[in-house]
Amino acid sequence: MTADTAAPPAAPTPTGRSRADRILEAVLTQRIVLLAILIVVVVGWLMYLSANGYLSADYDFDYMSAVLIDAVPLALLAFAELVVIVSGRGGIDLSVGAMVSLIGMIFGFAYGQWGWPLPLAVLLAVVVGAVLGAVNGFLVARIGFPALIATLATYYAYKSIAMVINGQKPINSAQIQELYSLTKSVELPVIGPYIPNVPLGVFTFLIPVLVVLWLALGRGTYGRRLYAIGTNDVAARWAGVDVAATRMRAYVTSGVLSGLVAVYITAQFASARPDAGTAGNGLALPAITIAVLGGVAITGGIGRIAGVLLAALLIVWLNAGIILYFSGNTGTQFQLLALGVVLILAALLNGLTTRRFGGGD
Q: What residues from 30 to 59 belong to the interface with other proteins (CB under 8 A)? A: none
To other proteins, the closest distance from the beta carbon of 318 in angstroms equals 14
**Contact (CB, 8 A) for 259 and 95:** no
- Minimum CB distance to other proteins smaller for 40 or for 345: 345
Instruction: Tell me the C-alpha distance between 15 and 69, whole Å.
Output: 45
- Cβ proximity to other proteins: between 17 and 192 the closer is 17
319 by DSSP, 3-state: which? Answer: helix
User: Helix, strand or coil for residue 272?
Assistant: strand
116 Cα distance to chain centroid: 28
CA–CA distance, 111 with 37 (Å, rounded to integer):
43
- How far, in Å, CA of 88 to CA of 102, rounded? 26
Is the Cβ–Cβ distance between 237 and 221 less than 8 Å?
no
Residue 35, classed as helix, strand or coil, is: helix
Which C-beta is closer to other proteins: that of 67 or that of 236? 236
Contacts to other proteins from residues 189-218, by CB under 8 A: 215
> Which CA distances in Å does 20 have to 13, 17, 24, 47?
17, 8, 6, 30
Q: Which of residues 235-274 bind other proteins (CB under 8 A)?
A: 235-242
Question: Binding other proteins by CB under 8 A: which of 72, 74, 133, 159?
Answer: 159
- The yes or no reply on residue 183 touching other proteins (CB under 8 A) is no
**CB of 200 or CB of 244, closer to other proteins:** 244
Question: What's the Cα-to-Cα distance from 212 to each of 205, 209, 255, 296, rounded to whole Å?
Answer: 11, 5, 16, 19
Q: Select 50 or 278, whichever has its Cβ closest to other proteins.
A: 278
Q: Which of 115, 195, 351, 356 binds other proteins (CB under 8 A)?
A: 351
Site for other proteins (CB under 8 A): which residue of 12, 44, 117, 208? 12
Instruction: Give the footprint of other proteins on residues 219-238 (CB under 8 A).
Output: 219-225, 227-228, 231-232, 234-238
Q: Please give the Cα distance from 151 to 149 (Å, whole number).
A: 6
**Residues 77-106 close enough to bind other proteins by CB under 8 A:** 92
* Residue from 150, 213, 252, 260 in contact with other proteins (CB under 8 A): 150
Cβ at position 102, least distance to other proteins in Å: 11
The site that binds other proteins (CB under 8 A) totals a number of residues, namely 82
Of the candidates 57, 164, 211, 212, which one interacts with other proteins according to CB under 8 A?
164
Least distance (Å) from other proteins to the CB of residue 288?
Answer: 6
Q: Could you give the CA distance from residue 44 to residue 34 in angstroms, rounded to a whole number?
A: 15
Q: How far apart are CA 181 and CA 268, in angstroms?
A: 8
Which CB atom, from 12 or from 192, has the smaller least distance to other proteins?
A: 12
Q: Please report, as residue ranges, which positions from 329 to 348 form the binding site for other proteins (by CB under 8 A).
A: 329, 333-334, 336-337, 339-344, 347-348
